[in-house]
Structure 1
Amino acid sequence: MTKKLNQLEATAICGNDISSSCLYVSALAIVYAGQYAWISLLMVATVLFFFRKIYGEVVGALPLNGGAYNALLNTTKKSTASLAAALTVLSYMATAVISGSEAVKYAHSILTSIPVLPVTIMLLLVFMGLVIMGIGESSKVAMIIFLFHLFSLIILCGFCLLYFVENGTATLISNFKLPIEGSIFSALFLGFSAAMLGISGFESSANYVEEQQPGVFPKTLRNMWIVVTVFNPLIAFLALAIIPISTVVHYQDALLSVMGITAGGQWLSMLVAIDATLVLSGAVLTSYVGVGGLMKRMALDRILPKLLLKKTRKGSNYFIFIVFFLLCVSILLVTKGNLAKLAGVYTIAFLSVMILFGIGNLLLKLNRARLPRPEKSSWLGLCIGIFAVLAAIIGNVILNPHYLAIFMEYLIPTLIIVFFMLYRVRIYKAVLIVLEYCFPEKGYVFKKLHRKIKELLYNVHKQQFVFFTNHDDIVTLNIVILYIITNEAARRLKIVSVLETGKSVNNQLKKDIKTLDRAYPNINIDFIEETGIFGPAKIKELSTRWSIPTNFMFMGSPGEGFPFKIEELGEVRLII
């Protein structure tokens, strides 16, 4: 059995991404909000506090890998969940490429002989190898980077505070006397919108929750929130206290290095550069780990090719990481290391995933109200969280109008791949019609293509599905079948009742199932009465006996009296 991640290991993996934001987000906030930047950053921390509860409720109720994809898959249509998955993969790709490139650029500032593009590719390759070795090994590296980063930030803030005390408030007062463009409200809004980039990584922990020890996930959310709430506003305030705003704007790409050389000298600036190289490299690792959990779940659900599920002897899905590495390298080569375009993808994709997670929480409250959950977000907090992130997207489009067009350039090809897998049955059938039209004589080419597409259709349709029930009426069962028809390429459905010895279902249920079998001639519906106790052991037994993966097994939402946790049932999907 694979060793589960403890609190520090799990926090370190996602924490490197979110804590690396201090390298750029404080400067960004000062550029747009001036002397009110620290307030904008506190506003971001407040929004993140609401999202702690939102993520806590959703993942507490549905503790499976996949993040926003998993939340929406269990509460609404598969196509909506697929959109969330596509956005998340885009976000991870952008994060990996930008963080890797920026890490090497910081290393280049220390040692100018380092070639940026080849070393960036090498860095991506090293972390690919690390995650293929296993999440346990990669978590140890993440933990060392994370602890060193926190140590470096504490040292930097300590020296900046000491410098501020020794040199007085003249710089701070001078900065606060400067006029701002527009109103205070617009400054705070634009500063807040830019600063929302500083919480990228918060969504990552939900994508590897199955690899974490019980009870660890909400602690990772708390720890990330503390880091963001303490360091980002503090660094912005200290920057305003010791450096003129004009200098901050000029050196916004290396603000912390400037703070280091101002407060402590060359050695502190060097420490910051080394730390930046390491923690940005750690953010690359976050992307690999997060995308591994997500793409595995997508492949299991037939949204991505089954080929991605190939494993090493240690159980690592190496093909996922190889594909992700190749995609990242292709972006680097196409852009030739000029990553300004990717910033737009990164911004809108990440914030869109946050909104979709909030919508997942909303649907969970409405559609899966019976489902037990360890904590609940308030309706007010949920609405504030969703609207705040929506406002941040609007703010970023105002700041960089071209971001939206660039984002669509990357999103559309991604969606084409995902939606091809989702609707491939319809596409195959359309191709068959076109073949009939183009090859009326039905020659050799027609027969070969026709046979191949028929094989592809057979491979899709041969997958069986299971729905567990012992009391649902015809209306509920009809909703279940309509869901399966809409979301899956189903031709064979087993409706299963697991009953204790000597018990049987009422005759009306059997009659209802026969009625539905006649009503849906394209689906072969079998009713099976299975002796035993419904739970993880029985689900695993049936999955093995029938060769049906648990993620193709469905059930209704259990109530508070259900004796098992959802995560114990494997990937059984809740559809009503």
Structure 2
Amino acid sequence: MRSKRKIPKKLGQWLSTAICGNDITSSCLYVSAIAAFYVGALAPIVLLIVALILYFYRKIYTEVVEALPLNGGAYNCLLNSTSKFSAALAACMTILSYIATAVISAKIAVSYLHSLAPSLPMISVIIGTIIILALFATLNIIGIGESSIVAFIIFLLHISTLTTLCLFGAGRLFDGFEIFWANWANVPTGWDQLSVTLFLGVSAALLGISGFESSANFVEEQKPGVFRKTLRNMWVAIFIFNPLISFLSISLIPVSEITQNQEQLLAYMGGILAGDFLHDLIVLDAFLVLSGAVLTSYIGVTGLVRRMSIDHVLPNFLLKQNKRRGTYHRITIGFFLLCTSILLLTGGDLFSIAGVYTISFLGVMSLFALGNILLKINRKELKRTFRAGWITVLIGLCATVSGIVGNIIIDYKNLIYFLSYFVPTVLVVSIVYARIKLLKSIVYLENKLMGRIFIWQKNKTPTSVSFSLENKLLDRIFIWRSIVIDKIMDIITQEVLVFTRGGNLPKLRRAFDYIIKNEDSQKVYVVYLQGEKNDEVIKNLKADLEVLDRTYPEIDIEFICRQGSFGPEVVRQFSKEFNIPINNIFIGSPEEKHRFTIQELGGVRVIF
């Protein structure tokens, strides 16, 4: 009896919300303290402004992700709207965002535990953070991934804990607002100073919406229509809890005490409001939620780096799998080393790590808004279920770019830390991106060296010692040259396939320009599917391809015409028949008349 292929079960609204909600609501544990540090009693207002900015990004993300419902976030968005290198830059920022997420979450989790034994030296927090990072690296290598049920239980505990804290805090407000007014007395009164304070405060407090992009990274695992609901649910949680918790902390605790207890503020509040019970409950909740965010970072970066390696943006050696577990241990170990290094580089300082985190995270969001603009311009025909207005997109983009500038003004070292990791990552991507040119340069240098050795040998006797050594060197260079040439041939013989709707020379030229700039392949199949035979269309299409053949002599173009209609089954059929990965199959923008979605096509790339 033939077994049926098991179809993975899609996640509903609340399980999906739990996975990404744990990520974004974990910021409730520390963002109030960060905002209060910069703006004092204005912190609740600043966090309301941040929630307003997030409201704009709800619309930006909805348009892009529902039009291109594939995992990858900003990387996927830019990959389908502009060049592969631009998408790679977005991915580099996303990787840095994952690094900072893992480090700051592990650090805050250990800091909350440290509040149970404050007599221990702070060095134990650094060591504990490394242990947490190592533990979850091990779990990721073993193969223990994100469980939606476990995430949902943690999410319920987290929301219940935050609600309990807010209820106790609201009850304490009946005792009066003396502390609030005392804190408010320190608010700047002059407009110049007030505007600068608000600007820097909003820039720092934008950390409170980090994690909003996480739902876009697993949209393929969600049921249809769930994605925009997860964005709504995350926004509601942030809109309610961040300003409310900040208001309660400002009303109940002097700003100086908030600053002193910045790394475990909510547990400190809980101890004031309800003693050890609420204090310990918040510590447990913080540890679980923040630890979950560490695991989510490992899972997210593994998926992203794997996708980039398959797309030939990062080296293929990262795709090496553990034989027993089938996990990508090289990616996990590399990520752990990067996390540990940034922890040691910053000395575990919350504000330094938060600065790196905020710059990288805001960079990802800004690129997402930019991707939205590029989709509007370059992929006008692409089928959409929602459209964000131009004003909405531009306000969102300006807000996050201003946030990046603000974080650099707060401390220029944040930019230095960020560039210390961003530049090497981009350098690796650039090397892989230009690998054919680099490999050809190596062959050129080897040819020059071999020619020079031949010239030297003309004036020497074959029996001389130096002649023998030079022959050995020639043999070695020849072997190296052969290895490099074989590598070049392996890369350029990778084939791509383009589906076309008929003769349209400008669009076909755009498609081939994209292939020349972004792919190393020298073999392109152009496929035309027709419902009814139309000799005129085929004749025009062949004429267009002859023009392209003369325009791009370095590419071998093969035309394929078959009966049928385009759809997911046809994509899988051609992928299997020609042994071409689906991510190397390119199409034009699906229009409103098409019944299938980009997700159903399995990962094809929209290039024109």
Distance 1:133 1:76 in 2: 37
In structure 2, the residue matched to 1:469 is 500
In structure 1, the residue matched to 2:39 is 33
- What aligned pairs does 1:150-189 form with structure 2 within 5 A after superposition? 150-165=159-174, 167-180=175-188, 183-189=193-199
In structure 1, the residue matched to 2:152 is 143
**Displacement after TM superposition at 1:339 (Å):** 6.8
- What aligned pairs does 1:180-259 form with structure 2 within 5 A after superposition? 180=188, 183-259=193-269
Partner amino acid for 2:173?
Answer: F
In structure 1, the residue matched to 2:56 is 50
**Displacement after TM superposition at 1:306 (Å):** 3.2
SS of residue matched to 1:110? coil
Q: Identical aligned pairs, as a percentage?
A: 47
In structure 2, the residue matched to 1:61 is 67
Distance 1:268 1:448 in 2: 69
In structure 2, the residue matched to 1:19 is 25
**Displacement after TM superposition at 1:289 (Å):** 2.9
Give yes or no for the alignment of 1:383 onto 2:389: no
- What aligned pairs does 1:364-383 form with structure 2 within 5 A after superposition? 364-383=375-394
**Displacement after TM superposition at 1:314 (Å):** 8.7
Distance 2:394 2:388 in 1: 10
In structure 2, the residue matched to 1:454 is 485
- Alignment partner of 2:291 out of 281, 288, 296: 281
The answer as to whether partners of 1:492 and 1:523 remain within 8 angstroms in 2 is: yes
CA RMSD of aligned residues (A): 2.3
Partner amino acid for 1:370?
Answer: E
What's the CA shift string for 1:135-181, capped at 9, x where partnerless? 8753333222222111111111111111111x112222222233428
In structure 2, the residue matched to 1:351 is 362
The answer as to whether partners of 2:146 and 2:299 remain within 8 angstroms in 1 is: no
Choose 267-276 or 301-310, whichever is displaced more.
301-310
The answer as to whether partners of 1:74 and 1:575 remain within 8 angstroms in 2 is: yes
- Alignment partner of 1:564 out of 572, 586, 596: 596
Please give the TM-score of this superposition, normalised by the length of structure 1. 0.94
**Displacement after TM superposition at 1:235 (Å):** 0.7
**Displacement after TM superposition at 1:514 (Å):** 1.8
* Rg comparison, structure with higher value: 2
The answer as to whether partners of 1:106 and 1:273 remain within 8 angstroms in 2 is: yes
Partner amino acid for 1:295?
Answer: V
**Displacement after TM superposition at 1:342 (Å):** 3.6
Distance 1:295 1:209 in 2: 17
- What aligned pairs does 1:501-512 form with structure 2 within 5 A after superposition? 502-504=533-535, 505-512=537-544
The answer as to whether partners of 2:47 and 2:202 remain within 8 angstroms in 1 is: yes
Distance 1:429 1:284 in 2: 42
**Displacement after TM superposition at 1:134 (Å):** 6.3
Give yes or no for the alignment of 1:418 onto 2:450: no
Please give the TM-score of this superposition, normalised by the length of structure 2. 0.89
**Displacement after TM superposition at 1:307 (Å):** 4.1
Query: Which sections of structure 1, spanning at least 5 residues, go unmatched?
Result: none
Query: Which sections of structure 2, spanning at least 5 residues, go unmatched?
Result: 1-6, 455-473
The answer as to whether partners of 1:74 and 1:573 remain within 8 angstroms in 2 is: yes
What's the CA shift string for 1:85-110, capped at 9, x where partnerless? 11101110121122113212322332
Distance 2:421 2:605 in 1: 30
SS of residue matched to 1:421? helix
Distance 2:132 2:513 in 1: 47
Give yes or no for the alignment of 1:263 onto 2:294: no
What's the CA shift string for 1:247-276, capped at 9, x where partnerless? 223322332122112221232222222222
**Displacement after TM superposition at 1:344 (Å):** 3.4
SS of residue matched to 1:527? strand
In structure 1, the residue matched to 2:517 is 486
- Alignment partner of 2:576 out of 529, 544, 565: 544
**Displacement after TM superposition at 1:486 (Å):** 0.5
In structure 2, the residue matched to 1:292 is 302
SS of residue matched to 2:583? helix
